[in-house]
Structure 1
Amino acid sequence: MFALSDTWVHFGGKPALRGISCRIEPGERVAIVGPNGAGKTTMLRLFAGELLPDEGEVLIPHRTVIGYLPQEADFGAGEKTLREEVESVFEPVHLAEAELRRLEHRMAGIVDHETAEFREIAARYDHLHHEVQRLEGHAIESKMGRVLAGLGFAEWQFDRPMREFSGGWQMRALLAKLLLTNPDLMLLDEPTNHLDLESMIWLEEWIKESRSAVLMVSHERAFMDRLCHRIFELHRGAVTVYRGNYAKYLAERDQRREIEWRAYENQQREIAQVQRFIDRFRYQASKAALVQSRIKQLEKIERLEPPPSDPRTIHFRFPPAARSAKEVLCLRGVGHAYTETPVFTGVDLTLYRGDKVALVGVNGAGKSTLIKILSGKLRPRWGSREAGANTAIDHFTQGQWDTLHPGHTVLQALASAAPLESEQNLRSCLGGFCFSGEDVDKPVRVLSGGEKTRLRLAMMLFSAANCLLLDEPTNHLDVWSRMTLEAALRRYDGTLIVVSHDRYFLDAVTDKVIEISGGDVHFYPGKYGDYLRHFDHGGEPALPERAREWTEPRPLAKR
């Protein structure tokens, strides 16, 4: 069992965690949820041993192996290859195997197995043997290859220097190392941030098969739903424990809060009634005894705090989309390549007015490339792209620097997208995206990833687009903001094509799927969940006839 007992943590003299107590059983999987700044990462760092409590205890059994994945890591400028970096996990195996051979030689020279020396050697031998088994030292190469492939690395990348990988791929390498240590307790801080859908699903299956206990922080609702046995909710430095996955937590939390609000409101009415009596008769001598009695009554009441409200989140809806031609975008025989190897070839695709399409595929399959071609920002090496009459496109990119000037303030950036709007209207709009007061004067260059995403979404409201191409729009958004964006896109009456690794998001806002795989494009009718179930039942990545009705390219109608 792993536990916190009456644990307090302060930062700058202010309590971040207030005497919390909770435990994680062996093999149990738990998610920590709560608003930004609630102490989720602080809780992980306590269990990881990176942070000591000011008061209370962190209870970890002796010889527990803990694996901690932070949100960010730096491998420096060393020359280690990916293979060498990941293989370093198994250095204890090589050392243990060498020591086991030495211990075997020593034990062979001791005749009396009842001596203290022999028992001490045998105990050490058993411990080392257990470590080699725990790390599956007999299958190092195959296990390492399986994990790296599952996280999206190609075999040719194994001998590439770590410094050449982007930060996201370096985090995948760190996650691979953690999984290969086979820890007793796995601490994961936003483990899916840098994963595509396929790698995320693979990670889920790995964790399910693992015997490790898991404590995680995540914004991925499907990830928490599929894995978690319990939820720890942090609010105002206190922890509330819910049994079940994230969906059950939401339902039970709403029920609890309704009960808590009724109790709080009833108490507030009682306090107000007593206070009115005191204020009315405070200076009447004939009522002095009664007034004193009511004052003592108020002093004895144990005041209830108002139940937590949902964290501050964005509030918006897209304006009505201008009517476009029936055929919005058409690709004929489109292919592209950055090197001699094509990303994809022979893509024939027509997007119709009102289509809501999920674009899926493994990392590097060409999703962003296809979206750039559809947007008109990238000219295909082969084939043609044609936009229908009255088609107005807004392209949300993974790197928001494409459309945000780093020297602008938040207010100036929005004004550049809506030059005819008054400053009051712009400030009001930004307030709906959680930019208030001095926030609107922040330079774009200092904004966090989530703030850039919110600003870019605000700018989209003034684009008059009737075709949205969204490349990972949920990155850096919290759960509540993702739900708001879902609701806005469900109401949006234009055409939509979206890339996202949030399965709930895809299922909520799209009704067709395009898959890029092995340089080819395959089409599926139905929601993303239907697409997954197609493969769960042995389906092949081929285009059903009924899907062709909306994908076969035709000359665009001019309207």
Structure 2
Amino acid sequence: MIHASDIALSYGKRVIFKDVNIKFTAGNCYGLIGANGAGKSTFLKILSGQIDADKGEVFVGARERIAILNQDQFAYDETTVAHTVLMGHKRLHEIMVERETLYAKTDFTEEDGIRSGELEGEFAEMNGYEVESEAAALLSGLGVGEELREKKMRELEGGQKVRVLLAQALFGNPDILLLDEPTNNLDSKSINWLEGFLERFQNTVIIVSHDRHFLNQVCTHMADIDYGHIQTYAGNYDFWLQASELAQHQRQDANRKAETKAKDLKDFIARFSSNASKAKQATSRKKLLDKLEIGDLPTSSRKYPFIHFKPGRSCGDIILEVKDLCKNIDGVQVLNNFNLVINKGEKIGFVGLNGPAIAALFQILAGEMEPDSGSCRWGITMTASYFPRENSAFFAKDVTLVDWLSEYTPVTEGESYARGFLGKMLFSGEEATKKTSVLSGGEKVRCMLSKMMLSDANALILDEPTNHLDLESITALNEGLQNFTEIILFSSHDQTLMNTVANRLIEILPRWRDR
């Protein structure tokens, strides 16, 4: 169990937490949710002791061990992959190092023998003789092959490092497991493995994630950061969403009823307070009015952008025909005689382990890349708008958001139109004058979605559009794509988006050179 008592934290005048009291009990998995900037990652760091709160305490059992997913990909650059995982259990690793040092001594003394016996006993209690097989199983489950395990961490790609650090956090059966965005850089197979691991895990888990399907699969409780406090709900993400919406409606209904009753009481008092026969009743109603409480609903930190794609025209009979498409990138054939015919009303989700092939296909369809051979032909009624996985090229010029979006607005509209559009996408007031050079990843995604909405296209091509978005923006995008009536081609690791938007799936698999 881990317990936070009276936690408060502020950065300048901005209050992050105010008198937070919460208990996380063993056997439960908590999803820690909240808007961007609400303090989710910060709270994990407070729980783990990485940063101190301004006020309050965190209580952990005397013999309980906390493990946290390390976000520093360069912390273990000179350490081998296998050894990095073992370092996840600090005490066990210390014993292993001391054992190796003792057994390497040429002048092994009687005291060394006594000490080695003590270490062996503690090592056995920690199931130390199984550590290498446990580490190997974790790495295998997360898609880190055996050929990488003796390599130095600096030799790995960024996504591979993240998987190793996740294995490090899971290693050694920690009593309290803190995971910040654990599904980032994982493919669907590894995510499924992690879901199974956490479902079997018997101790306390606290997770920050924007993956709604993942939260639904593994969480027994949701811990919602809002209004500067944390409220716990039993159930998974979908249950929390329904419960929080119901609670908000109930608060609003109670306020409306109280306001209506207050108005009736005031009207009665105004009419009859000077009437001798009604004065007693007016006084009685005044007492009721004084007791009546009309609460001010707190402003939620959650904000939902307005995402609505409106096609300029309906699709004709011919949508898209792709024939014998081939493409090599850096000597690797990513597309080999790919064929596709798209029909009216199709929303196609592209899935599989071949991300480069999907990205290349989308670039070719959007006219951003030429195929080596083959053809793709859009119908004469079709206009496509493309959301690339990597969008930095669109923000190369350091201009204000208003100027940036004005390049994509209709020529008949002026700056006020661009400002209004930005306001709907959560760039209101001074936010609209921010320079593109200081935008976060999520803000750039919202800008790219704004560009797509202004295109009036009847075919949307989106490559991993949920990357960098918070849950509120993902929810808004999900609804916007569901409501779009024409053609969508998209890829996403967000399984809820895939399940609720796609009416056709196409799996693109790697073409293995070695059989």
After superposition, the C-alpha distances for 1:186-225 in whole angstroms (9 at most, x for unaligned) are 1122222333333322221222233331111222111111
**Structure-1 residue corresponding to 2:72:** 73
Determine the C-alpha separation between the residues in 1 that align with 2:97 and 2:482.
61
**Structure-1 residue corresponding to 2:35:** 35
Q: Which amino acid aligns with 1:129?
A: A
**Structure-2 residue corresponding to 1:206:** 197
Q: Is the 8 A contact 1:152 1:362 kept in 2?
A: no
**Residue 408 (structure 1) aligned with residue 407 (structure 2):** no
Q: Which amino acid aligns with 2:55?
A: E
**Residue 503 (structure 1) aligned with residue 495 (structure 2):** yes
Query: What are the ranges of 5 or more consecutive residues in structure 1 without an aligned counterpart?
Result: 111-117, 521-559
Match for residue 250 of structure 1 among 238, 241, 244: 241
Determine the C-alpha separation between the residues in 1 that align with 2:16 and 2:145.
42
**Residue 6 (structure 1) aligned with residue 6 (structure 2):** yes
Distance 1:128 1:271, change over 3 A: farther
**Structure-2 residue corresponding to 1:113:** none
Alignment of 1:69-108 (within 5 A): 69=69, 72-75=71-74, 78-80=77-79, 82-83=81-82, 85-86=84-85, 88-89=87-88, 93=92, 95-97=94-96
**Residue 336 (structure 1) aligned with residue 327 (structure 2):** yes
Q: Which amino acid aligns with 2:163?
A: R
Other structure's SS at 2:6 match? strand
Determine the C-alpha separation between the residues in 2 that align with 1:143 and 1:327.
55
Distance 1:301 1:463, change over 3 A: closer
**Structure-1 residue corresponding to 2:206:** 215
Q: CA RMSD in A?
A: 3.8
Q: Which amino acid aligns with 1:496?
A: I
For residue 43 of structure 1, report the CA deviation from its aligned partner: 2.2
**Residue 459 (structure 1) aligned with residue 451 (structure 2):** yes
**Structure-1 residue corresponding to 2:125:** 130
Other structure's SS at 1:200 match? helix
Other structure's SS at 1:188 match? strand
**Structure-2 residue corresponding to 1:114:** none
Match for residue 510 of structure 2 among 499, 510, 518: 518
Alignment of 1:535-554 (within 5 A): none
Match for residue 374 of structure 2 among 368, 380, 383: 383
Q: Compute the TM-score of the two structures, normalised by the length of structure 2.
A: 0.84
Q: Is the 8 A contact 2:6 2:19 kept in 1?
A: yes
Q: Which amino acid aligns with 2:483?
A: R
**Structure-2 residue corresponding to 1:191:** 182
Distance 1:491 1:290, change over 3 A: closer
Q: Which amino acid aligns with 1:183?
A: P
Determine the C-alpha separation between the residues in 2 that align with 1:442 and 1:108.
65
Determine the C-alpha separation between the residues in 1 that align with 2:269 and 2:431.
44
Alignment of 1:413-432 (within 5 A): 413-418=404-409, 420=411, 421-432=413-424
Q: Which amino acid aligns with 2:339?
A: D
**Structure-2 residue corresponding to 1:523:** none
Q: Is the 8 A contact 1:65 1:183 kept in 2?
A: yes
Distance 1:166 1:182, change over 3 A: same
Match for residue 320 of structure 1 among 305, 311, 315: 311
Q: Compute the TM-score of the two structures, normalised by the length of structure 1.
A: 0.78
Q: Is the 8 A contact 1:198 1:361 kept in 2?
A: no
Q: Is the 8 A contact 1:359 1:515 kept in 2?
A: yes
Q: Is the 8 A contact 2:354 2:509 kept in 1?
A: no
Other structure's SS at 1:231 match? strand
After superposition, the C-alpha distances for 1:279-311 in whole angstroms (9 at most, x for unaligned) are 999999xx9999999999877776634166582
For residue 54 of structure 1, report the CA deviation from its aligned partner: 3.2
Q: Which amino acid aligns with 2:125?
A: H
Other structure's SS at 2:123 match? helix
Q: Which amino acid aligns with 1:222?
A: H
Q: Is the 8 A contact 1:260 1:307 kept in 2?
A: no
After superposition, the C-alpha distances for 1:260-283 in whole angstroms (9 at most, x for unaligned) are 223333444556667788999999
Determine the C-alpha separation between the residues in 1 that align with 2:17 and 2:400.
35
Match for residue 358 of structure 1 among 349, 361, 370: 349
**Structure-1 residue corresponding to 2:477:** 485
**Residue 447 (structure 1) aligned with residue 446 (structure 2):** no
Identity within the alignment, %: 31
Alignment of 1:284-299 (within 5 A): none
**Structure-1 residue corresponding to 2:106:** none
Determine the C-alpha separation between the residues in 1 that align with 2:321 and 2:166.
40
**Structure-2 residue corresponding to 1:550:** none
Distance 1:86 1:480, change over 3 A: same
Determine the C-alpha separation between the residues in 2 that align with 1:227 and 1:77.
29
Q: Is the 8 A contact 1:15 1:237 kept in 2?
A: yes
Q: Is the 8 A contact 1:430 1:436 kept in 2?
A: yes
For residue 382 of structure 1, report the CA deviation from its aligned partner: 4.3
For residue 455 of structure 1, report the CA deviation from its aligned partner: 0.7
For residue 513 of structure 1, report the CA deviation from its aligned partner: 0.7
For residue 462 of structure 1, report the CA deviation from its aligned partner: 2.4
Determine the C-alpha separation between the residues in 2 that align with 1:324 and 1:229.
45
Query: What are the ranges of 5 or more consecutive residues in structure 2 without an aligned counterpart?
Result: 104-108
**Structure-2 residue corresponding to 1:50:** 50
Determine the C-alpha separation between the residues in 2 that align with 1:423 and 1:44.
42
Q: Is the 8 A contact 1:332 1:346 kept in 2?
A: yes
Determine the C-alpha separation between the residues in 2 that align with 1:384 and 1:282.
85
Determine the C-alpha separation between the residues in 2 that align with 1:52 and 1:44.
11
For residue 9 of structure 1, report the CA deviation from its aligned partner: 2.7
Q: Which amino acid aligns with 1:454?
A: R
Determine the C-alpha separation between the residues in 1 that align with 2:284 and 2:248.
32
Determine the C-alpha separation between the residues in 2 that align with 1:68 and 1:90.
11
For residue 449 of structure 1, report the CA deviation from its aligned partner: 1.0
Determine the C-alpha separation between the residues in 1 that align with 2:97 and 2:438.
52
**Structure-2 residue corresponding to 1:548:** none
Q: Which amino acid aligns with 1:6?
A: D
After superposition, the C-alpha distances for 1:137-178 in whole angstroms (9 at most, x for unaligned) are 4251x4444433433445555566544655444333322221
Distance 1:322 1:198, change over 3 A: farther
Determine the C-alpha separation between the residues in 2 that align with 1:37 and 1:268.
34
Q: Is the 8 A contact 1:365 1:519 kept in 2?
A: no
Distance 1:139 1:481, change over 3 A: same
Other structure's SS at 1:320 match? coil
Other structure's SS at 2:418 match? helix
Distance 1:99 1:250, change over 3 A: same
Determine the C-alpha separation between the residues in 1 that align with 2:146 and 2:328.
21
After superposition, the C-alpha distances for 1:301-330 in whole angstroms (9 at most, x for unaligned) are 766341665822111321225344534333
For residue 515 of structure 1, report the CA deviation from its aligned partner: 0.9
